[in-house]
Amino acid sequence: MSAINEVPNPPSDAISSVRFSPDGASLLVSAWDSKIQVYHRSDEGYKHSASIQCDAPILDVCWGADSSTFFAVGIDYDVAKYNVHEGQDSKVVMSSHDQAANKVAYSKEHDIVISTSWDETMHIHRPSDNAFVPVKLAAKPFAISLTADRLVVAMAERHVHVYDLAALRDLIPQAGSTEAMREPLVVEPWQQRLSNLKFMTRDIACMPDGTGFSTGSIEGRVSVEFFDPALEKEAYAFKCHRVKVDEVDEDGEEISEIIHPVNTIAYHPVHGTFATGGGDGVVALWDAKTKRRIRQYPKLDASVAALDFSSDGTRLAVAMSPGFEEGKEEEEADPSLVKVYVRELAESETKGKPAKEK
């Protein structure tokens, strides 16, 4: 089994995202404590480098074209750009949504930053001059993911819309110079579909080869789907992050299984396998092609909140923090259960498994 190392100085509240820099030398961790933690790799592992104070809880972060620029979104509605070496003094607000901004992603192929918000819009930004254009979404967005050419947005009511990134980039010159001219544009998606999962989506991740994506739901299920309509029959879903029990609830009803949400999904950039993290505290690796579980790592003490593979696939960042599974959302997370780990992966550890013989 691969080595796993705990990262020092974790956040003090629930973690929202973890992101390796493009060169793997740095790690960002955002959290509900209104801070972004920065770590740099050394011979002894990832060491704490800086703590960036923000105005409100941060819901997502992503890196830009290199390992010095990153972007953040959060409860304060803002989409902000930072220089990792200059910290909070380098903050530039690129745009502001009308409600909390919950997801952000950068396309290196098209040099645009996409943010989504609970106001049912997404903003398409050009980071070179901070120009942006707002686009109307069909429903409240829950998760986004990119391929080299496509943006996938998973929303409420099972909506999944796929956009052409080049077409979104070309919208930016249409951005008005005044607020009155910033009414969200209605843009026809490249593809519209309904999720194969019946319950709320928690995360979505695109395959490295750009052929499809996986989504995870609150009902302990993962769906694997493909963009090509000819491959529609190849789509499938499976149950995971469920625990068999023999218990009785408060009403005297027998409980045979506890179902945990699939909080996070991350694809391995080299092998095309993927990892899921659940409310059961488990990280599992899966082979999408052969539909087999590769391995399951030892259970952690709290929910797995976020995952990210390094760009070379040799490391997996794992964020652990309470997921309020016991219905105590009004309480702050127990700081002792908020941790970040980096797992050093062996070469064969994330490779797929051969299909079972029929």
User: pLDDT tens, 95-138?
Assistant: 999 999 999 999 999 999 999 999 999 999 999 999 999 999 99
Average pLDDT score, the chain = 92
Return the amino acid letter for 289. K
Contact 278, 261 (CB under 8 A): yes
Instruction: Indicate left, alpha or beta for 138 from its phi (over 0: left) and psi (-120 to 50: alpha).
Output: alpha
Which percentage of the chain shows pLDDT scores above 90? 80
Residue 247: pLDDT band (50, 70, 90) is confident
Q: What is the C-alpha to C-alpha distance for residues 335 and 342, in angstroms, rounded to an integer? A: 18
Return the amino acid letter for 92. V
Q: What is the C-alpha to C-alpha distance for residues 4 and 298, in angstroms, rounded to an integer? A: 11
Q: Indicate if the pLDDT at residue 328 is higher than 80.
A: no
Contact 264, 277 (CB under 8 A): yes
pLDDT at 1: 57
pLDDT at 3: 85
Q: Which of 115, 141, 7, 99 has its CA nearest to residue 60?
A: 115
More confident position, 252 or 54: 54
Q: CA separation (Å) from 302 to 66, 260, 323, 339?
A: 33, 12, 7, 9
pLDDT at 325: 53
pTM of the entire predicted model: 0.93
pLDDT digits (tens, 9 = 90+) for 169-201: 999 986 654 454 578 999 999 999 999 999 999
**All residues at 6 or more sequence positions from 62 whose CB lies less than 8 Å from its CB, including other chains:** 19, 70, 71, 104, 105, 106, 113
Name all domains of the chain by residue range, CATH numbers in brackets. Answer: 1-9+200-349 (2.130.10.10), 54-194 (2.130.10.10)
Neighbours of 7 (CB within 10 A): 21
pLDDT at 324: 53
Q: Which of 180, 108, 119 has its CA nearest to residue 155?
A: 119
Residue 258: pLDDT band (50, 70, 90) is confident
Contact 317, 305 (CB under 8 A): no
Neighbours of 180 (CB within 10 A): 7
Question: First-to-last CA distance in the chain?
Answer: 29
Return the amino acid letter for 207. M
Q: Indicate if the pLDDT at residue 13 is higher than 50.
A: yes
pLDDT at 180: 46
pLDDT at 331: 59
| Mean pLDDT for the stretch of residues 8-32 | 97
